[in-house]
Amino acid sequence: MLTGKQKRFLRALGHNLKPVIQIGKKELDEGLLAETEAALAHHELIKVKLLESCLLDRREASDELAAACGAEVAQLLGRTFLLYRRAEQPKLALPLSQEA
């Protein structure tokens, strides 16, 4: 679970990213899930865009895709959202949680 500080950090990093995944009228099919898995494995933080042809609600789409890929939603803004999944060998150093 990401803390508020970590989400702010990821939002700042994701601001200049271009959407890697686009969800259209096929919505969440096997190919899209495989593509998202590969993108998360390579980048850790990706931007996903919902096209006008997508019939899913933006919250529903972000939650379903995150759950299917084992990722977390770092930001939901308009028809775009950021997904984060820590890699086996992390490239991003998240701020430490203050809970310990």
User: Long-range CB contacts (< 8 A, 24+ apart) of 10-14?
Assistant: 10/45, 10/74, 10/75, 10/82, 10/84, 10/92, 10/94, 11/74, 11/75, 11/82, 13/45, 13/92, 14/45, 14/47, 14/74, 14/75, 14/82
Give the global pTM.
0.89
Arithmetic mean of pLDDT over the chain? 90
Q: For 35-73, how does the pLDDT look when each residue is reduced to its tens digit (9 = 90+)?
A: 999 999 999 999 999 999 988 899 999 999 999 999 999
Q: Please say whether the structural domain 4-84 has been given the CATH code 3.30.9.30.
A: no
pLDDT of 32 reads 93
DSSP one-letter code for 84: E
Spans of all domains in the chain: 4-84
